[in-house]
Chain A
Amino acid sequence: MLWERDLTQEDLNKVEQKLLSEIENNIKEYEKSRGNLIPILQMIQEKLKYLPKDSIEMVAKYLEINTCEVYGVATFYNQFRFNPPGNHPIKVCLGTACHVKGADIILENFERKLEILEGETTPDREFSIDRVACVGCCALAPVTMIGDTVQSHMAPSKVEGLILRFKIEKEMQEREKAKNETAI
């Protein structure tokens, strides 16, 4: 719901600002102790899908610690990200079982098709690519997660089709929308 597809960049910023002020209220429910730093960061990431600069400063102020301390902790853990993910976050599993079945070629293929590198988001915020250590579905290797669905037994040749499917779905929705608008 956060990254609705028809939102413009400006709208996004507005939504973000609104959520940030909500978060400011939510933080107050946590006790002011260092032990709550990671749970607070997790709460923010759950709402915003990433940790914007403002939110880090907000947390530092609330817990009365330095901003660099918060960054120190946030960058240490793999869970936290500092740029917004795409509508369809792509997570390529590079666990041992996936690796021996050629997961790195799949990752490379996604990078080539979307013209971004791992850890990046496409300019239209549609896709982002990440590598994950293991999603724990080793028996279905190699796997890739797109959104919440696990694509099992991936192959380099399946990459293009998957991306195309999302693009076609989007186009169809847009056409439907345009049709509805003219109907009105």
Chain B
Amino acid sequence: MKQQFDNIVLEAKRRQQEFNDTKLPKIHIGMATCGIAAGAIETKKTFEEELLNRGISALIHPVGCIGHCYAEPVVIIDHPDSGFPPIFYHEVNAGKAKMLTNMFLVEGDPRLEHILGATVANEMIPSIMEFPRFNLEKRIVMEKCGLINPEDIYEYIAYGGYSSLINTLQRDPKSIIKEVTESRLRGRGGAGFSTGKKWEMASISTANEKIVICNADEGDPGAYMDRTILESNPHQVLEGIMICAHAVGANQAIIYVRSEYPLAVKIIKNAIKQAQDIGILGTIFNLKITLFQGSGAFVCGEETALIKSIEGFRGMPNFRPPYPVQHGLKGMPTVINNVKTFASIPVIIEKGSSWYRETGTENSSGTAIFSVVGKVTHPGLVEIPMGTSLKTIISDICGNVPNKKKFKAVQIGGPSGGCLPEEFLSTPVDFDSLTHAGAMMGSGGMVVMDEDTCMVDVSRYFLDFTQKESCGKCTFCRIGTYHLLNILTRITKGEGREGDIELLERLSEDIKKGSLCGLGKTAPNPVLTTLKYFREEYEAHIKEKKCIGKQCRKLTAYYIDLEKCARGCDACVSSCPTEAIFTTSTRKKGIDQKLCVKCGECMVACPPQYNAVKKVSPVELAPIIERPIMI
């Protein structure tokens, strides 16, 4: 076994050496889903065409995602002959790709105005590691994401991949579980249960067959780190699954992926096949790994519901205990862990539990991966040590709220989490502190909101989501969320009543008490936290019919300030999707309030030197401008 693996490693090293030794320029392109959405396929095509047209040869190397979504599509060009270090370019569209091929690859001018930085320290160009977006992160789980080609197993092995598995196979399963327990790794799916303990419970069972399930049913709107890891480094997850299977004595593994992630599905299928082809799966370690595509139900992220859906039923959670580790899929002990948990395992085995514990806090060791999106300058994936403050993540790493707007709140943990206001920015990010503040770690979605966001509307949005996704088993969740949503919708429409706030609070507490699974238990969290920290917004909606964020459409109005509007200017007219803008008798513009859908396009279209379009709440503040009668 060891001999066979050593041969594989030799082959991997040989291929890596061959790739590194070549004098040809290398073009690394990020080709994960977000890169492709930003146009990476077109970029790659342009590079290929240009290289062909100019008759120069270079290696195009598709890699995964490095998590810097604001900069997609990202390209790293390594051109040793030019004398420059490898350079990181951002937002490389087809035009830029054409220009770079010509200027850099042919003429040797790296066009410094388009670069983000060099990838290694050097004396010529500042390195990207000098920027906080890069150097404040600590990559343990995502270390190889964006560095290797996810569709080539040898690249992973050349970087030390699968050596932890070989190491594991030579050790007693008990010592592996002890190592994981000592690392204090907690499940990254949200609840934060000790991974080591879970494995131990499964390992003591005497059942003949045991199953390992990798939960990649990432349903949180606004979270996509599981997808990124699967698309950028699938073998690390596979290795984690295999180590787990060896430790608990399982002979079957299932990867449960959302069918909405077609690229991830394709890449994992390919990864499993490659591992089988070179003998890691099969001869070195015998495990049957299958893929199950989830069908888009948020509740299936809950482990008992997930099992139900694999068995072919509606994904409705069951009462626990018995826990799946005792009585899971088809009655067999089943270990269910999140993608990030499995991806952490090879690193822990390789470097040891005490090394892993050095990162993070006493009770939450290791790193946390967040997808920071919403109103921030540099959205994307951020991997930071547990215990880093929210402020560091939002202002230092992600570059704060853009357009000189004021920060209002950050929503953590998806539909189950809560909204935290500015006072909580010093909260360290770990399982316990976040729960204490009223939010939760969840799977790691973080949405930043600025002063233009209405908190009542945000909680209505989340309730709309949980209400649709409630499986319908528990009465409190099924009917309670429906009524919560109704009341919130009423408030955002300006039909709020006296006593609504108290009703929301009582209903929320009841739903929490009367629901079986995590979905119902946490569904009222967005309402409760916004009521706690932004109560004045609810009151303004109900009493004054005023939306402070000027976002609730029934409560806001747009109007054109005739003093500022330029005579004869037509900039706003074509931007209006409903033709609500008309010309007044003074050849200025007015908005027909009956036709206006309040999309805000005219505000964007109005030239900044006039800045004539105004937005007000409540509606009465907008002056009435009559449309001139046409004869």
Q: A: which residues have CB within 8 A of B?
A: 33-39, 41-42, 72-73, 76-80, 94-97, 99-100, 102, 105, 108-109, 112-113, 132-141, 143, 150, 152, 155-157, 159-160
Contact = CB atoms under 8 A, between A and B. Distances in A.
Contacts of B223: 134
B232 to A, nearest CB: 13
Nearest to A65: B312
B599 A105 contact: yes
Contacts of A42: 259, 293, 295
Contacts of A36: 312
B374 A97 contact: yes
15 contacts: A38-B293, A38-B309, A76-B471, A77-B295, A78-B296, A80-B295, A96-B222, A96-B461, A100-B375, A100-B449, A136-B33, A138-B379, A143-B37, A156-B599, A157-B574
Interface in B7-44: 33-34, 36-38
A interface secondary structure, majority: helix
A139 B373 contact: yes
B379 A139 contact: yes
B466 to A, nearest CB: 11
A43 to B, nearest CB: 10
A141 B373 contact: yes
A97 B314 contact: no
Interface residues of B, number: 61
Given A100-B447, A152-B38, A77 B296 contact: yes
A35 B310 contact: yes
Given A100-B374, A100-B449, A155-B601, A134 B311 contact: no
Contacts of B313: 34, 73
A38 B221 contact: no
B598 A105 contact: yes
Contacts of A160: 577
Contact of B33 (A80, A132, A137): A137
Given A77-B295, A139-B72, A141-B373, A35 B312 contact: yes
Given A133-B219, A137-B37, A160-B577, 12 more contacts: A39-B292, A77-B297, A79-B296, A95-B222, A97-B373, A99-B461, A100-B449, A109-B599, A113-B577, A133-B298, A135-B37, A150-B37
Contacts of B310: 35
Contact of A105 (B72, B260, B597): B597
Contacts of B553: 105
B69 A138 contact: yes
Contacts of B227: 136
Contacts of A78: 295-297
A38 B181 CA distance: 36
Contacts of B379: 97, 138-139
Contacts of B471: 76
Contacts of B261: 136
A34 B72 contact: no
B578 A112 contact: yes
Contacts of A37: 312
Contacts, number: 146
Contact of A102 (B293, B309, B599): B599
Contact of B314 (A73, A108, A112, A143): A73
A69 to B, nearest CB: 9
B66 to A, nearest CB: 13
A15 to B, nearest CB: 24
A173 to B, nearest CB: 22
B366 interface: no
A115 B605 CA distance: 26
Given A100-B375, A100-B447, A157 B297 contact: no
A29 to B, nearest CB: 15
Contacts of A109: 577, 597, 599
A100 B605 CA distance: 20
Contacts of A157: 574-577, 599, 601, 605
A118 to B, nearest CB: 12
By Cβ-Cβ distance, the 3 closest A-B pairs, closest first, are A139-B69, A77-B295, A95-B221
A66 to B, nearest CB: 13
Nearest to B69: A139
B380 interface: yes
Interface string B568-584: 00000011111000000
B453 interface: yes
A27 to B, nearest CB: 14
A76 B577 contact: no
A20 to B, nearest CB: 21
Contact of B311 (A35, A112, A141, A150): A35
B211 to A, nearest CB: 13
Interface in B213-259: 219-224, 227, 259
B445 interface: yes
Given A35-B310, A96-B373, A133 B33 contact: no
Nearest to A136: B224
B411 interface: yes
Nearest to A77: B295
Interface in B397-425: 411, 414
B276 to A, nearest CB: 20
B364 interface: no
Contacts of B284: none
A69 B574 CA distance: 51
Interface string B45-86: 000000000000000000000000110100000000000000
Interface string B191-222: 00000000000000000000000000001111
B259 A138 contact: no
A156 B373 CA distance: 21
Contacts of B315: 76-77
Contacts of B136: none
A137 B447 CA distance: 13
A95 B464 CA distance: 11
Interface in B290-314: 292-293, 295-298, 309-314
B279 interface: no
A112 B577 contact: yes
A38 B577 CA distance: 41
A86 B70 CA distance: 32
A39 B597 CA distance: 42
A71 to B, nearest CB: 11
B458 interface: yes
